[in-house]
Amino acid sequence: MACFFRRSVAAQLSRICGAHEDVFVPLLSAIPPSKKQLSPGLRLTVNSLVKNGTFSRDADLQTQTERLVKQVKEDGVVQEAVAGHGVINFRINTLLLAEKLLEQLHADPQSFGVKSEILQNLKKGRTLVEFSSPNIAKKFHAGHLRSTIIGNFIANLKQALGNDVIRVNYLGDWGMQFGLLGAGFQRLGSQEKLQENALQHLYEVYVQVNREAEHDGSIQLAAAEFFRRLEQHDKQALSLWKQFREITVEEYKKIYERLGVYFDQYSGESFHQSKTREVLKDLQSQGLLKTTEKGTGVVDLSAEGDLSSYATLVRSDGTSLYITRDVAAALDRKERFSFDEMIYVTDKSQSVHFQQLFQILQAMGHHWADGCVHVPFGLVVGMSSRLGEVVLLEDILNEARYRMLQNMREAKTSKELADPELTAEQIGVSALIIQDFKGPLISDYKFDWQKVLQAQGDTGVFLQYTHARLRSLLRMHSSESHTHFNPAQLQDNRSLSILQHLLRYDEVLLQSSLDLQPRHLVNFLITLSHLASSAHRELQVKGSSAEVAQARLRLFSCTCSVLSNGMKTLGISPVEKM
Ligand code: ARG
């Protein structure tokens, strides 16, 4: 509905300047609520008018701005236009703002923001998001957690904006580690423990056999032998590998469910093992694969063709590498899903890997690689649990739940809950997500449970708390009829700053979808929560006249819907009570 206002202002500008009004719609942004001078309103930067040719670069900009402002007429929507430094601010009719915004939001909360006109120019299509991608039997480290929640957010956002989204988990399920694991399991493994706690057991076996292999050559030989058998598809070796893989996927599914995450496909390096031969054949026939003196097969990625930069795709013993499997996987996915864009989410240490991958695809003539993106993120240090270092995803979730439950018990809030453990887990997870999404993804950060789980301040706990309080207020008044709504009762500063903030929701979604950074949405929701919680304190519902109460309830219920939708997009389940 922000569009209603943009449209009206754009229509005026179009009449004055001659350009079509569509040109102005995306240029008008809502003024953030902190800028009090001329709010609520819309803003147009003069630079954007220069860029699209509406203003002449050579003439005096200030004069042009002032002239334009003078030509703007006050009408039903625009109450005032003022030339600022490099911007034009339009104050809009606040009665109309309350009426139009809440009318639309109330009628269809799900499409608010996401169906906005300023988002319609984004390309829509099929988006494949590959994320999480842990390695079987190895540690699920903080990087995998980040990939999981970031990828989930990107998938949710893309989906909310009308794309067809495919979620892929690319497991590390092939390689020498399976030689060790296989050999180790034959000596140290137990089927019983595997059924009891598969991930833990496989990890323990893997750690133990690695330790032993360090000073026992026979284990290394056994590992190499096991892997050789695997590569030759020896029935017995393959069946053990299959069991490890299946049981791991089953376990992961359960834990991902606790996070509210799911995948359409569990693929992995193993699937592309056989396809790598075709990739190498292709490269060869195109003359792209060069054999080095050391006997390795490389693809030249340098501009000069002098091998100053290259990627190795074949080892000297003829086996393939991580990147070879990624080329095969990309081709397979394109064929299978015919995606328009593919997004890989991993830590920044793999940035070069993905740049090389995209370059190789281009060199092979697959220009759809233009639609492939790597979203890199920084390192997290110090994520540990009471039991020490975190090795499984489950450990992180259990720790978050445990700590949150402690906090809730101390605050004596857990008693009235139907399922305190579940609530504690949902709040704990939201705390992890907000902490992780607050800054630029590329930044490293130090993990601190205390800070993460604070109830005050800009945390996930605070968002949940605000949401739960609004829900409780709405439940309390749910029996009252909501037919009459008078926007004149929402003209105080607190209500207006919420409305003004809501006007920005679509812009924030646009920003996040352009740079794939969740922080725009996170900051929007945190500000919304601050505004909502002070409004909740100051704007009484109980004891107010029926008309005032109705108007405030409408404001609170709409605010709560946007908060809830935004949280869900981030991957957070909003709680009803806490
Ligand atoms: N399994 C890898 C790791 O843990 C991440 C896989 C990333 N995706 C890819 N297509 N290479 O580091």
- DSSP symbol at 446: E
Asked if residue 346 has its Cβ within 6 Å of ligand 1, the reply is yes
Same domain, 332 and 193: yes
Based on the structure, what is the number of domains in the chain?
3
Residue after which a domain boundary falls, among 381, 407, 423: 381
Beta strand residue intervals within 380-476, DSSP E:
380-381, 384-385, 388-389, 445-446
Same domain, 527 and 445: yes
Confirm whether 296 is domain-assigned: no
Please list the ranges in the chain whose pLDDT falls under 70: 1-2, 34-38, 481-482
For 405, how many CA atoms within 13 A lie in the half-sphere containing its CB?
A: 13
Is the ipTM here above 0.85? yes
DSSP code per residue over 173-216: --SHHHHHHHHHHHHH--HHHHHH-HHHHHHHHHHHHHHHHHH-
Same domain, 147 and 213: yes
Q: How far apart are the first and last CA of the chain?
A: 32
Asked if residue 140 has its Cβ within 6 Å of ligand 1, the reply is no
Residue after which a domain boundary falls, among 359, 381, 403: 381
Asked if residue 269 has its Cβ within 6 Å of ligand 1, the reply is no
Same domain, 371 and 478: no
Pocket test for ligand 1, best of 145, 170, 342, 360 (most atoms within 8 A of CB): 170
Distance (Å) from CA 147 to ligand 1 centroid:
10
Asked if residue 347 has its Cβ within 6 Å of ligand 1, the reply is no
pTM score above 0.90: yes
Distance (Å) from CA 512 to ligand 1 centroid:
24
Q: Which residues pair with 342 in a beta bridge?
A: 128, 372
Q: Which residue owns the Cα nearest ligand 1 atom 4?
A: 134
pLDDT at residue 35 in the model: 59
pLDDT at residue 38 in the model: 58
From residue 206, alpha-carbon distances to 135, 137, 246 in Å are 12, 6, 17
Q: Encode pLDDT of 164-190 as tens digits.
A: 999 999 999 998 889 999 999 999 999
Same domain, 357 and 230: yes
Residue with tokens 């812009």: 507
Catalytic residue IDs:
138, 141, 144
Same domain, 362 and 408: no
Distance (Å) from CA 489 to ligand 1 centroid:
55
Looking up residue 364, the CATH number of its domain turns out to be 3.40.50.620
- Alpha-carbon distance of 435 to 433, in angstroms, equals 5
Q: Encode pLDDT of 39-76 as tens digits.
A: 789 999 999 999 888 888 888 889 999 999 999 999 99
Looking up residue 440, the CATH number of its domain turns out to be 1.10.730.10
Same domain, 438 and 553: yes
Looking up residue 51, the CATH number of its domain turns out to be 3.30.1360.70
- Alpha-carbon distance of 131 to 23, in angstroms, equals 37
Q: Which domain holds residue 7?
A: 2-92
pLDDT at residue 189 in the model: 95
pLDDT at residue 273 in the model: 82
- The alpha carbon torsion through 401, 402, 407, 409 (nearest 10 deg) reads 110
Beta strand residue intervals within 317-363, DSSP E:
341-347
Asked if residue 170 has its Cβ within 6 Å of ligand 1, the reply is yes
Same domain, 375 and 398: no
Residue 575 token pair: 């709680």
pLDDT at residue 274 in the model: 81
Query: Could you tell me which residues come within 8 angstroms of residue 409 by beta carbon, excluding any fewer than 6 positions away?
Result: none
Residue with tokens 């439940």: 475
How many CB atoms neighbour CB 459 within 10 A? 21
Asked if residue 148 has its Cβ within 6 Å of ligand 1, the reply is no
Distance (Å) from CA 133 to ligand 1 centroid:
6
Asked if residue 326 has its Cβ within 6 Å of ligand 1, the reply is yes
pLDDT at residue 482 in the model: 67
Q: Which residue owns the Cα nearest ligand 1 atom 10?
A: 326
Asked if residue 135 has its Cβ within 6 Å of ligand 1, the reply is yes
Pocket test for ligand 1, best of 320, 342, 350 (most atoms within 8 A of CB): 350
Same domain, 372 and 498: no
The H or E element containing residue 492 is none
> 257: helix, coil or strand?
helix
